[in-house]
Amino acid sequence: MSSTISHRPGSGSEDADALSELAATVEQRLRSTDRLILDLDEELAVLAGLQEFPLGRFLLRNQGLNGYWTSYIFRYEPGTPTESDTEFWLLNRSLLSGARERYHRFRAEIARSITDGAVLASVPCGVMDDLVRQDYGDAPGARLVGIDIDEESLALAVENAKSRGLGDRTDVVLADAWKLGIDSEFDLLVSNGLNMYEPDSGRLVELYRNFARALRPGGRLLLSFLTPPPPPPWEAPERAGEWERYGIAEHDLRRELALFGDIIQAKYLNFVSEADTRAQLAEAGLEVEHVGYSEGGVLPVISAVRPL
Ligand SMILES: C[S@@+](CC[C@H](N)C(=O)[O-])C[C@H]1O[C@@H](n2cnc3c(N)ncnc32)[C@H](O)[C@@H]1O
């Protein structure tokens, strides 16, 4: 980690009995499933590996990430040794760790929108790295707003802003992103890591309507989304080439799908095509400006404006 937040909340109690019980339930489920990605023994080894480090335990318990752990993954310096092999794999070789590239692209895109006097919002903000880890030297009047449904994340966002000397220009708001009730206040609203937990297209339009309304006319939304991956190469060898742009070896992909699919059953893997995201944003009253992908052509970030 290049820097850390001083305490680690949000993992619930680190109750060893409850974790063993959960692991036993997952093991039971794996044993009674006839279609696993890896051999049962290998799946059980991954399950055991996950219990060895706090991030793994958090994922197992929560089937997703909170602000703190998202920040932990994105701030991690690739290659830094970890105590657990599974954690090293997760932070360096998984598709999840590939999202670090998008986080940096997202921040670079935000940097271009920082102007003096601008009001910049992050929803959901988590610990608010996207807005806080920026240079405001040329924008002394810029104001930052972090909105999240999780009080612990907001407390960390405040701590984060203070540590960067931005405490006096940062406000945090405890709110549900679907019930923002904010009208025409923001010049830029950035949103990473919420839409992918929502499987329902109508609910996504609702979310984007809330964002559109919170923007000033002419204001901009910066949004990441997850596009559908190709089928696994072992199921559709004729499409195996499509995996090249993800930059992941087949054995790592198997481990990824076993870990996040079979074992954790992650809740955030709701995929939406660019065309559907464009349609949802249009329905919410936003005009798409551009969509940027990684060099390989994955992990899009879309920019849309509220018309004047
Ligand atoms: C994966 S984290 C992403 C945080 C941050 N945007 C980032 O990229 O680091 C997801 C965040 O969404 C928040 N969240 C979940 N449901 C929400 C809702 N309905 N309204 C607002 N925030 C929500 C969680 O508390 C968590 O902080």
Q: Which tens digit of pLDDT belongs to each residue from 134-143?
A: 999 999 999 9
Q: Measured in angstroms, how far is the CA atom of residue 198 from the centroid of ligand 1? A: 12
User: Measured between alpha carbons, how far is 75 from 55 in angstroms, rounded to an integer?
Assistant: 14
Q: Measured in angstroms, how far is the CA atom of residue 125 from the centroid of ligand 1? A: 6
Question: Could you tell me if 174 and 285 lie in one domain?
Answer: yes
**How far lies 65's CA from each of 2, 10, 162, 196, 232, in Å?**
20, 10, 23, 11, 24
- pTM for the full predicted model: 0.93
Element (H, E) at 191: strand 186-191
Closest C-alpha residue for ligand 1 atom 1: 193
Q: What CATH number does the domain containing 258 carry?
A: 3.40.50.150
Question: Could you tell me if 142 and 155 lie in one domain?
Answer: yes
User: Measured between alpha carbons, how far is 302 from 278 in angstroms, rounded to an integer?
Assistant: 9
DSSP state for residue 286 in the 8-state scheme: -
The verdict on the CB of residue 219 being under 6 Å from ligand 1 is: no
**Substitution site in 5, 76, 123, 149 for ligand 1 pocket (most atoms within 8 Å of beta carbon):** 149
Sign of the CA dihedral 109, 126, 248, 267? negative
Question: Could you tell me if 162 and 244 lie in one domain?
Answer: no
Q: Measured in angstroms, how far is the CA atom of residue 68 from the centroid of ligand 1? A: 10
Is residue 2, in this structure, part of any structural domain at all?
Answer: no
Question: Could you tell me if 29 and 105 lie in one domain?
Answer: no
Under 8 Å between Cβ of 210 and 180: yes
The verdict on the CB of residue 124 being under 6 Å from ligand 1 is: yes
Confidence of residue 15 (pLDDT cuts 50, 70, 90): confident
Question: Could you tell me if 156 and 176 lie in one domain?
Answer: yes
Closest C-alpha residue for ligand 1 atom 4: 126
Question: Could you tell me if 135 and 205 lie in one domain?
Answer: yes
Of ligand 1's listed atoms, the one at least distance from the Cα of 190 is 6
- Report the mean per-residue pLDDT for the chain: 94
Question: Could you tell me if 70 and 139 lie in one domain?
Answer: no
Mean pLDDT of 58-80: 96
Confidence of residue 3 (pLDDT cuts 50, 70, 90): very low
Of ligand 1's listed atoms, the one at least distance from the Cα of 65 is 1
Confidence of residue 208 (pLDDT cuts 50, 70, 90): very high
Is residue 4, in this structure, part of any structural domain at all?
Answer: no
Is residue 9, in this structure, part of any structural domain at all?
Answer: no
Mean pLDDT of 289-300: 96
Closest C-alpha residue for ligand 1 atom 23: 149
- Paired tokens of 34: 């006839």
Is pLDDT of 128 > 70?
yes
Closest C-alpha residue for ligand 1 atom 8: 192
Of ligand 1's listed atoms, the one at least distance from the Cα of 106 is 8
Mean pLDDT of 289-295: 96
The verdict on the CB of residue 195 being under 6 Å from ligand 1 is: no
Q: 85 lies in which domain range? A: 16-93+230-263
The verdict on the CB of residue 173 being under 6 Å from ligand 1 is: no
Beta-carbon contacts of residue 160 (< 8 Å; ≥ 6 apart): 5, 127, 128, 129, 132
Q: What is the pLDDT of residues 223-256, one digit of tens each?
A: 999 999 999 999 999 999 999 999 999 999 999 9
Is residue 11, in this structure, part of any structural domain at all?
Answer: no
User: Measured between alpha carbons, how far is 286 from 218 in angstroms, rounded to an integer?
Assistant: 10
The verdict on the CB of residue 66 being under 6 Å from ligand 1 is: yes
Is residue 286, in this structure, part of any structural domain at all?
Answer: yes
User: Measured between alpha carbons, how far is 71 from 158 in angstroms, rounded to an integer?
Assistant: 14
Is pLDDT of 157 > 60?
yes
Question: Could you tell me if 179 and 214 lie in one domain?
Answer: yes
Is residue 257, in this structure, part of any structural domain at all?
Answer: yes
Is pLDDT of 280 > 70?
yes
Q: Measured in angstroms, how far is the CA atom of residue 293 from the centroid of ligand 1? A: 22
Is pLDDT of 120 > 70?
yes
Number of domains within the chain: 2
Determine what percent of the chain is predicted with pLDDT higher than 70.
Answer: 95
Is residue 211, in this structure, part of any structural domain at all?
Answer: yes
The verdict on the CB of residue 198 being under 6 Å from ligand 1 is: no
Is pLDDT of 38 > 60?
yes
Q: Is 174 helix (H, G, I), strand (E, B) or coil?
A: strand
- Which spans in the chain are helix H? 16-31, 40-50, 54-62, 67-75, 85-92, 95-111, 129-132, 151-163, 201-214, 250-257, 274-283
Is residue 69, in this structure, part of any structural domain at all?
Answer: yes
Question: Could you tell me if 41 and 122 lie in one domain?
Answer: no
Mean pLDDT of 198-222: 98
Instruction: For 187, list phi and psi in degrees, rounded to 5.
Output: -85, -30
Closest C-alpha residue for ligand 1 atom 16: 149
Question: Could you tell me if 281 and 136 lie in one domain?
Answer: yes
Question: Could you tell me if 165 and 42 lie in one domain?
Answer: no
Is pLDDT of 13 > 60?
no
Question: Could you tell me if 198 and 251 lie in one domain?
Answer: no
